[in-house]
Homo-oligomer: A and B are copies of this chain.
C-alpha cells in the first residue's frame, strides 16, 4: 500500500518518484491527520465540483459566483483557456467583467475541434447577452492563435470589439532575462 500511495502521487504534474516517496513517508510517519484531510478534500472536491452552465469554469453551483454576480459588467467577456486563468486575473483586481472558459484550443492534429472546446457555447452566450467587447486572454501558442482567429471570424459581422491582452516585458523584468520573442513583441507593440 505504501508503493500504491507513492505511485498515486507520481500522477500529479511535476512530481517524480523522489518527491512522491517524500510525500508518502511524510504523511505515514508523522502526518496521518493531514493525509486524511487531503484524502477527504480530494473526494469532496471531485464529487461536488462541476462546470458552470454559463461560463464553464469549475464551481459547486449550477451557475458560478462570478456569473451570478449582478455587479459585474455583462458587456465585457474575457475568454480564457482554463479556470486557473480566472483565478490569476481575479487576483490582479482590475477586471470586473465576465469570463468564458474554452477548456482547450483548436488542434486538428490532436483531433480537438469546435465542439470539443466551448466555441458553440461561446457563440450562444454572446448572442443571448449584450456583450460589446471580447477580450482574448489566451496563451501565445500556435493552437491559441488559431483559436483566437476562429473566434474573431465568428463575431466578425456582429458589432463586437475584439481585443487581446498585451504582451511584453513583465513589470520588474530585466531585458537580459527576457526571451527574444517577448522583446521583439514588446518593441513592435510599443506605446
Enumerate chain A interface residues (CB-CB to B < 8 A): 1-2, 4-5, 7-9, 11-14, 19, 21-29, 31-32, 34-46, 48-49, 58, 60, 82-84, 87, 103
Contacts and interface: CB of A to CB of B under 8 A. Distances in A.
A1 B45 contact: yes
Q: 6 closest A-B pairs (Cβ-Cβ)?
A: A39-B42, A8-B41, A8-B38, A5-B45, A25-B84, A5-B41
Copies of this chain, how many? 2
B31 A11 contact: yes
A49 to B, nearest CB: 5
Contacts of A22: 13-14, 84
B46 A26 contact: no
Nearest to A59: B2
Nearest to A36: B46
Given A1-B41, A4-B44, A8-B41, A29 B82 contact: yes
Contact of A11 (B5, B38, B46): B38
Contacts of A83: 25, 28-29
Contacts of A14: 19, 22
A25 B60 contact: no
A36 B46 CA distance: 7
Given A58-B29, A82-B25, A35 B41 contact: no
B8 A48 contact: no
A12 to B, nearest CB: 5
A7 B34 CA distance: 11
Nearest to A42: B39
A50 B49 CA distance: 34
A35 to B, nearest CB: 5
